[in-house]
Structure 1
Amino acid sequence: MTWFTSGGEYAAHRPTYPAEIVDVLRAAAPDGEAAVDIGCGTGQLTVLLAQEFEQVIGLDPSEDQIANATAAAKVAYRVSSAEALDVPDASASLITVAQAAHWFDLAAFYREVRRIAVPGAALALITYGVVELDDDLSERFDVFYRDEIGPYWPAERRHVDNRYADLDFPFEPIDAPAVTIERSWTLQQFAGYLGTWSAARRAREAGQGRILEQIADDLAPMWGDGRRTVRWPVTILLGRV
């Protein structure tokens, strides 16, 4: 069976963030004036921030991601790198990075954070870890993640696996509660998500795309035709700029 669709599927298959994460971020910010979401992709977090902030700017270096970003009131998208932000000085009450900080030149990025932050602004680096499946699925999936797709992950993936514990973060910490993303998905939806991984793209480029089809085929008898609960533990590295 063919489980994976062609390109342009990031917005369709990536999980969105739980609403409570926005409450955490708003509580950390000095006011609800302006939030800047960096490495925003297609806007999974960006649009949620508009529920609590008067102005939200989503920035991403990829023109394709910005072209496919979800439109929302109070949200403006721009093509911009993390190391040279297209944002005025002292204008951001909250600065967020979701599932992208491990790709940045952090020293250059942090200089830009300090430039655009208002006094007392909050910075949040957010990542969700390795997906968690029900026990009867996890053994086969763990082999796939570790041994089959594992060699195709870029070196930066180790920061995600470590839940950003080893990422440089030179800001006064703010406590953030544990948050979990949870979805009820069919196997087709789960396979679509796997196809958005950077490791999946590299495996295909290496002519090894069959390992993606194989994991879906192997999970199918256990998964069944219905839905299964899929979970991602979320880490919020939160600090005062």
Structure 2
Amino acid sequence: MTAWFCKGRFDLITVAQAIHWFNFDEFYDEVCRVGRTGGLLAVIGYSMISINDKADPILEALYEEAFGTYFNENRQYLDQYYRTIPFPFEEIQTPNLEYTVSWSIDELEGYFNSWSAIQKMKSDQGYNPVPKTMNKLKSKLPETQKLEVSFPIFMRLGRLSTSR
């Protein structure tokens, strides 16, 4: 690895739900090029949603079916809350966070259909597991009820130094 000297202008650089797709060395080169010494890099992500004890096993099965087939290598970083990405900065501890939304069953279905792995399954296999999953969920959850859907949020925060 080469030494980086942070000499840029930015006090804070963020990347959300994407670093697992990047070439780490190239990205960190750019962070240090544009970030100032003493600035911060915030790497943010979210994990699999949670609804309740009845629904969560169904959600986990869909997640595993979709992402276990596609994007498994990159997905591991998210599943491990980015703890295993290379992170050559002075780390600052961050709290565990959670974001909760109130969704209808149709909004939940729209979210699942937005997953890149679901789109890849539809394209490659001509198969979408979401309708089957939604039928299972509907048998466990009242359709008229708004669902409290929680997203675990995680972050790694690092201070940029004169070299790394």
Pairing partner for 1:142 from 38, 60, 66: 60
CA distance in 2, matches of 1:185, 1:132: 12
In structure 2, the residue matched to 1:151 is 68
Displacement of 1:115:
0.6
Indicate yes or no: 2:158 matched with 1:239. Answer: yes
Kept in 2: contact 1:92–1:117 (CA 8 A): yes
Contact 1:152–1:202 (CA<8 Å) still a contact in 2?
no
C-alpha distance in structure 2 between counterparts of 1:189 and 1:160, whole Å: 23
1:229 maps to 148
Question: Offset of 1:223 from its aligned partner?
Answer: 2.0
Which residue of structure 2 lines up, in the alignment, with residue 206 of structure 1? Answer: 124
TM-score by length of 1: 0.60
1:63-113 Cα shifts (integer Å, max 9, x gaps): xxxxxxxxxxxxxxxxxxxxxxxxxx6121100000000000010010110
**Partner secondary structure for residue 154 of structure 2:** strand
Q: Equivalents in 1 of 2:128, 2:74: separation in Å? A: 24
Say which of 65, 87, 103 aligns to 1:185.
103
CA RMSD of aligned residues (A): 1.4
The amino acid across from 1:151 in the alignment is: G
**More relative contact order, 1 or 2 (CA 8 Å, 6+ apart):** 2
222-231 or 94-103, which deviates more: 222-231
C-alpha separation between the residues in 2 aligned to 1:144 and 1:112? Answer: 36
Residue pair 1:152, 1:200 contacting (<8 A) in 2 also:
no
TM-score by length of 2: 0.87
| AA of the residue aligned to 2:147 | R
Instruction: Quote the offset at 1:240 in angstroms.
Output: 0.1
Amino acid at match of 2:100: E
* Matches of 1:140 and 1:214, distance apart in 2: 10
Distance in 1 (CA, whole Å) between partners of 2:39 and 2:14 is 11
Give 1:140 deviation, angstroms: 1.9
Structure 2, unaligned runs of 5 or more: 1-6
Equivalent in 13, 16, 30 of residue 95 of structure 1: 13
CA shift at 1:152, angstroms?
Answer: 3.1
Work out the number of aligned pairs and report it: 152
Q: Using the alignment, how far apart are the partners of 1:215 and 1:150 within structure 2?
A: 15
User: Residue 161 of structure 1 corresponds to which residue in structure 2?
Assistant: 79
- Please give the alpha-carbon distance, in whole angstroms, between the structure 1 residues aligned to 2:111 and 2:81: 19
Identical-residue share of aligned pairs (%) = 30
The separation in 2 between residues aligned to 1:138 and 1:183, in whole angstroms, is 16
* d(CA) in 2 for partners of 1:156, 1:140: 22
CA-to-aligned-CA distance 1:171-218 (integer Å, 9 cap, x gap): 001121111111111111111111111111111112343311111122
Contact 2:118 2:128 in 1 (8 A): no
Contact 2:98-2:150 at 8 Å conserved across structures: yes
